[in-house]
Amino acid sequence: MKRRRVAITGLGLVSPYGGDLADFFGRLCAGQSAVGHLQTDDAPRPLSMPFVSCTAFDPDIALGKPLAGMMDRFAQLGMAAAFDAWNDAGLPRQVGQGMRNDWGVAWGTALGGTLTYEKGYRELWQKYRERLSPLTVVLGMNNGASAHMSIQFGLGGVSMTHTVACASSAIAIGEAFRRVRSGEATVMLTGGSDVPQTYGVARAWEALRVMAPGDAESSPSACRPFSRNRNGLVLGEGGAALVLEDWAHAVARGARIHGEIIGYGTTCDHSHLVRPEAAGQIRAIELTLADAGLAASDIDYVNAHGTATPEGDPVEISALKAVFGNNANRLAVSSTKSMHGHMLGASAAIEAIITVLALRDRAIPPTAHLDALDPECSGVDHVTALRSAQPLRAALSNSFAFGGSNAVLAFRTLSQ
Amino acid sequence: MESIDLIREFLKNRLGAEPEKVVSGALLAELGVDSLMMLELMFEFEDRFGIKLPRDLKTPRTVGEIATLMNGLIARSKS
A355-389 pLDDT, tens digit each: 999 999 999 999 999 999 999 999 999 999 999 99
Q: Could you tell me the residue range of the domain that residue B51 belongs to? A: 3-78
| Of A247 and B2, more confident | A247
Where would I find the H helices in A43-161?
59-63, 65-68, 73-88, 114-121, 136-140, 144-153
CA A398/CA A411 separation, integer angstroms? 12
CATH number at residue B27: 1.10.1200.10
A264-291 pLDDT, tens digit each: 999 999 999 999 999 999 999 999 999 9
Would you call B39 and A135 a contact, using CB atoms and an 8 Å cutoff? yes
Is residue A10 a contact partner of residue A86, using CB atoms and an 8 Å limit? yes
Distances (CA, A) of A126 to A29, A365, B11: 45, 46, 28
SS (H, E, C) A124-150: HHHCCCCCCCCCHHHHHCCCHHHHHHH
Note if the bond before A44 is cis, omega within 30 degrees.
yes
B40 touches chain A (CB under 8 A): yes
A210-256 pLDDT, tens digit each: 999 999 999 999 999 999 999 999 999 999 999 999 999 999 999 99
Number of structural domains chain B divides into: 1
A375 touches chain B (CB under 8 A): no
Structure confidence at residue A185 as a pLDDT band (50, 70, 90): very high
SS (H, E, C) B1-64: CCHHHHHHHHHHHHHCCCHHHCCCCCECHHHCCCHHHHHHHHHHHHHHHCCCCCCCCCCCCEHH
Distances (CA, A) of A224 to A13, A71, A112, A137, A234: 23, 34, 27, 38, 9
A61 touches chain B (CB under 8 A): no
Whole-structure pTM value: 0.96
Closest CA to A145 of A81, A86, A212: A81
Residue A166 appears among annotated catalytic residues: yes
CA A326/CA A343 separation, integer angstroms? 33
Distances (CA, A) of A62 to A146, A164, A165, A206: 17, 28, 27, 32
Other beta carbons within 10 Å of B12: 15
A64-73 pLDDT, tens digit each: 999 999 999 9
Q: Classify A19 as helix, strand or coil.
A: coil
Is residue B22 a contact partner of residue B11, using CB atoms and an 8 Å limit? yes
Q: Which of A11-20, A163-172, A179-188, B26-35 has the lowest mean pLDDT?
A: B26-35
If you measure CA to CA, which chain A residue comes closest to B16?
A65
Is residue A156 a contact partner of residue A102, using CB atoms and an 8 Å limit? yes
Q: Across residues A162-174, what is the average pLDDT? A: 98
Q: What are chain A's domains?
A: 6-252 (3.40.47.10), 263-412 (3.40.47.10)
**Element at A261 (helix H, strand E):** strand A259-268
B50 touches chain A (CB under 8 A): no
Is residue A111 a contact partner of residue A272, using CB atoms and an 8 Å limit? no
**Residues 100 through 159 of chain A touching chain B, CB cutoff 8 Å:** 131, 133-135, 138
What value does the mean pLDDT of chain A take?
97
Q: Across residues A87-95, what is the average pLDDT? A: 96
Is the pLDDT at B1 greater than 80? The verdict is no
